[in-house]
Amino acid sequence: MSRSRLVKLGLNIDHVATVRQARGGNQPDVMSVAWEGIRGGADGITVHLREDRRHIQDQDVFELKRTISVPLNLEMSVNEDIVRVAMKLKPEKACLVPERREELTTEGGLDVCRGRKRIQQVVCLLQARGISVSLFIDPVPGQVEAAGAMGCDFIELHTGCYANRKGARRRQELLRLEKAARLAHAIGLGVNAGHGLDYENVVPIAKLPFIDELNIGHAIIARAIFVGLRNAVREMRQLISSTSLRTI
Catalytic site positions: 48, 75, 195
Number of domains in the chain: 1
CATH of the domain at 8: 3.20.20.70
The answer to the question of residue 111 being in a domain is yes
Q: What is the pLDDT of residues 72-87, one digit of tens each?
A: 999 999 999 999 999 9
Q: What is the pLDDT of residues 55-65, one digit of tens each?
A: 999 999 999 99
Q: Helix/strand/coil (H, E, C) string of 34-49?
A: HHHHHHHCCCEEEEEC
The answer to the question of residue 248 being in a domain is no
Q: What is the pLDDT of residues 18-53, one digit of tens each?
A: 999 999 899 999 999 999 999 999 999 999 999 999
**Quick one: which of 235, 194, 241 has its CA closest to 216?**
194
The answer to the question of residue 51 being in a domain is yes
The dihedral region occupied by 35, where left means phi > 0, alpha psi between -120 and 50, and beta the remainder, is: alpha
Beta bridge partners of 194: 158, 215
Q: What is the pLDDT of residues 150-206, one digit of tens each?
A: 999 999 999 999 999 999 999 999 999 999 999 999 999 999 999 999 999 999 999
Q: What is the pTM of this model?
A: 0.93
Strand ranges (DSSP E) for the chain? 4-5, 8-12, 44-48, 72-76, 93-96, 132-137, 154-158, 190-194, 211-216, 246-247
Task: Report the sign of the C-alpha dihedral through residues 132, 138, 139, 145, in that order.
Answer: negative
CA distance 115 to 78: 10
The answer to the question of residue 129 being in a domain is yes
State the Cα angle at 86 between 80 and 89, rounded to 5°.
145
The answer to the question of residue 207 being in a domain is yes
Domain of 137, in residue numbers: 4-243
pLDDT at 242: 85
